[in-house]
Amino acid sequence: MPAAVFWDMDGTLVDTEPYWMASEQELVGSFGGTWTHDDGLLLVGLGLWNSAEILRSRGVDMDEDAIVHWLTERVRERLATDGVPWRPGARELLKSLRDRGVPTALVTMSVRSMAEQIVAGIPFDAFDVIVSGDEVDEPKPHPEPYLRAATLLGVDPRDAVAIEDSLVGLSSAVASGAAAIGVPHIVPLPESDRHTLWPTLDGRTADDIAAVAAARTETSR
């Protein structure tokens, strides 16, 4: 088993990207602008404050903190009313890792309150630590979020595996030194010898994660 497994949240553990996109469209529309699905794709994986800067450039007359708060609360409302849309196989793989005693971290660019809301819906002790977007100086694609997770768990990131759904997130994970698994969802991911691609987490177990870690160790020799 790897020393730890790091999980992205939006798009990887949960399918919240449609909630975010609808909220962005509503916010931009309230200021008389237009926000399309393709516009929303530009923000997938980005830190919330970076996304807020883009929204301001599209006519949203609010400061970055206010935009982040507005979007987060809107998505949290959707989670409360419509439920948490889990990605196929995500909770099952997470449970398999926990049953094998593998340390885990949730590494998300969402704020901690939203991350805790989602984690509360998992019926087992899912994560040892949470690293959220409001707790780092540099968001993904910078490696800081994953380096922080490794520090909190007391592991070398080069001995860990990270699971991501966006190119921004994969870039962060790879830059940290972790072995990265990309699971495409809203946006396609390129083939690369710097990460592994899985079409889905459905049917995957801790043994599959261990195989990725072992292949990484063999390659680095």
Residues 80-107: pLDDT tens digits?
A: 999 999 999 999 999 999 999 999 999 9
Which residues on neighbouring strands pair with residue 181, listed in sequence order?
Answer: 163, 196
| Domain residue ranges in the chain | 4-15+85-219, 17-82
175, pLDDT greater than 90: yes
Start-end of H helices in 31-111: 37-41, 48-57, 64-82, 90-99
Separation in Å, CA 37 to CA 13, 26, 65, 205, 209: 21, 12, 23, 33, 33
Q: How large is the C-alpha radius of gyration of the chain?
A: 17
pTM assigned to the model? 0.90
| CATH superfamily label, 17-82 | Putative phosphatase; domain 2 (1.10.150.240)
Averaged pLDDT for residues 146-166? 97
Let me know if 71 is exposed, middle or buried by CB neighbors in 10 A (0-12, 13-18, 19+).
Answer: buried
Given pLDDT bands bounded at 50, 70 and 90, which one contains residue 135? very high
The answer to whether 4-15+85-219 and 17-82 have equal CATH topology is no
Averaged pLDDT for residues 182-208? 95
- For residue 64, the Cα-to-chain-centroid distance in whole angstroms is 21
Q: Please give the pLDDT value at position 219.
A: 62
Which residues on neighbouring strands pair with residue 105, listed in sequence order?
Answer: 6, 129
Given pLDDT bands bounded at 50, 70 and 90, which one contains residue 186? confident
Whole-angstrom distance, CA of residue 28 vs CA of residue 36:
10
Whole-angstrom distance, CA of residue 27 vs CA of residue 201:
32
Q: What is the CATH number of domain 4-15+85-219?
A: 3.40.50.1000
Given pLDDT bands bounded at 50, 70 and 90, which one contains residue 216? confident
Whole-angstrom distance, CA of residue 75 vs CA of residue 30:
16
Nearest CA among 27, 49, 30, 165 for reference residue 39: 27
Q: Please give the pLDDT value at position 218.
A: 64
Q: Please give the pLDDT value at position 46.
A: 84
Mean per-residue pLDDT of the chain: 95
Given pLDDT bands bounded at 50, 70 and 90, which one contains residue 2? very high
Say how many C-beta atoms besides its own lie within 10 A of residue 205's C-beta.
17
Residue with tokens 């396609």: 188
Q: Is there a contact between 140 and 10 (Cβ–Cβ < 8 Å)?
A: no
Say how many C-beta atoms besides its own lie within 10 A of residue 204's C-beta.
19
Nearest CA among 9, 2, 1 for reference residue 127: 9
221, pLDDT greater than 50: no
Averaged pLDDT for residues 33-58? 92
Averaged pLDDT for residues 153-168? 97
Q: Is there a contact between 66 and 180 (Cβ–Cβ < 8 Å)?
A: no
